[in-house]
Every structure is written in C-alpha cells, then in structure tokens.
Amino acid sequence: MTTGPGKSPSVVVLQPRTAARVAAVQALYQMDMAGTDLNAVIDEFVCLRFPRAPGDEAAAGADATFFTELLRGVLRRQRDIDPLVDQQLAEGWRLKRIDAIVRAILRAGVFELMERPDVPARVVINEYINVAHSFFSDEEPKVVNGVLDKLARRLREPELDGNGGRQAG
C-alpha cells in the first residue's frame, strides 16, 4: 500500500494470532467459494502466504498452528456453529444468505467462543470486529459485534455475568 507519490509503502504488521485470524477468514472464504480442500488451503497459506509473501502482508508472520487449529475446528464444529449463528441473525435472515466473508468471520469467532476458553470472550469479539473492519466499512462490523456479543453471553455466561467480564473488586 502506498501513501502517495514519492512516499514509501506502509505496511501494517499484525500480531501473529491476529494475522492467523485474518488468514483463517480468507481461507474459509476460499473453501466456501471455490470448494478448496482443507489440507490444500492449509498448505497454501502456511507454505506460500505466511513467509511474508509480497502483496499479502496481512498473512505475513501469522501463527500457523493457531491458523490450522481455527480452520480444523471450524470445519469440525460447523454443524453446531451455523444453527447458533442463524438464531442470532435478524428474522428472515439465515447464515447462507449473508456475505461469504461475514459468514467466515462469524464461524471463526463462534468457534473461538465455543472452544478456546484460553482467549477471553472480549478479546475474541474485538479481534473479529477488527477483522471485519479490514474487509468492510459499512454495517458488517456491527453485525459481527452484535452476533458475537449475544453468543458470548450465551456460551460464556460466567465470564460475562453482568460485569462485562471484569473481575469484581
């Protein structure tokens, strides 16, 4: 990305797990739209995109283990994830009807809420709102926020028991 005539390109370097989340959303999108095999997409990202491939700075330096866990986990739990998301969408909307990138963001975020208690719910929500902002500038990040917040309160009630996840004291 260039900043103007005669200026040096500016590159945003993401933290390894953040880069892994962005890459996981890209990979889930690719798998959804092109029907790419799980192992093939993991190999593509880990071997070609993560080692600082030119033009793909978002994936550079991603945590390959975390990326792989996200992809495998989303696919393993997709039959549980999709109905949960469907229940949170506005009446008349279903996961299959929303943008494929938003669908990938929600699936990855819900997977983390379900199976990654080592990552605080607020961190999961904020990370995926930021991922949504990297793809969209309209209402989509608000949809991601709303759906993940509702599901976090349902899936991690003790963590978010009315005090916003903060410790009393």
Q: What is the DSSP string of 4-50?
A: STTPPP--PPPPHHHHHHHHHHHHHHHHHHH---HHHHHHIIIIIIT
Our count of domains for the chain comes to: 1
Distance of CA 91 to the CA centre of its chain: 24
Instruction: Identify whether 131 is part of a domain.
Output: yes
Instruction: Identify whether 4 is part of a domain.
Output: no
d(Cα 16, Cα 31) in Å, to the nearest integer?
A: 22
d(Cα 67, Cα 7) in Å, to the nearest integer?
A: 33
Instruction: Identify whether 166 is part of a domain.
Output: no
Instruction: Identify whether 162 is part of a domain.
Output: no
Instruction: Identify whether 7 is part of a domain.
Output: no
The residue type found at 49 is R
Instruction: Identify whether 105 is part of a domain.
Output: yes
The residue with greater pLDDT, 105 or 4, is 105
Q: Which two tokens stand for residue 90?
A: 């506005």
Instruction: Identify whether 150 is part of a domain.
Output: yes
How far lies 96's CA from each of 31, 59, 86, 143, in Å?
14, 26, 9, 15
Q: Domain residues for 78? A: 16-155
Instruction: Identify whether 168 is part of a domain.
Output: no
DSSP state of 139: S
**CATH number for position 99:** 1.10.940.10
Instruction: Report pLDDT digits (tens) over 11-64.
Output: 556 789 999 999 999 999 999 999 999 999 999 999 888 876 555 566 677 899
Which of 106, 111, 44 is closest to 71 using CA atoms? 111
Distance of CA 144 to the CA centre of its chain: 10
Instruction: Report pLDDT digits (tens) over 88-147.
Output: 987 767 777 889 999 999 999 999 999 999 999 999 999 999 999 999 998 999 999 999
Phi-psi region of 4 (alpha: psi -120 to 50; beta: other; left: phi over 0): left
Q: Which two tokens stand for residue 125?
A: 């929500």
If you search the block for the tokens 């997409």, which residue do you land on?
41
pTM value is 0.84
Give DSSP secondary structure letters for 98-113: S-HHHHHHHHHHHHHH
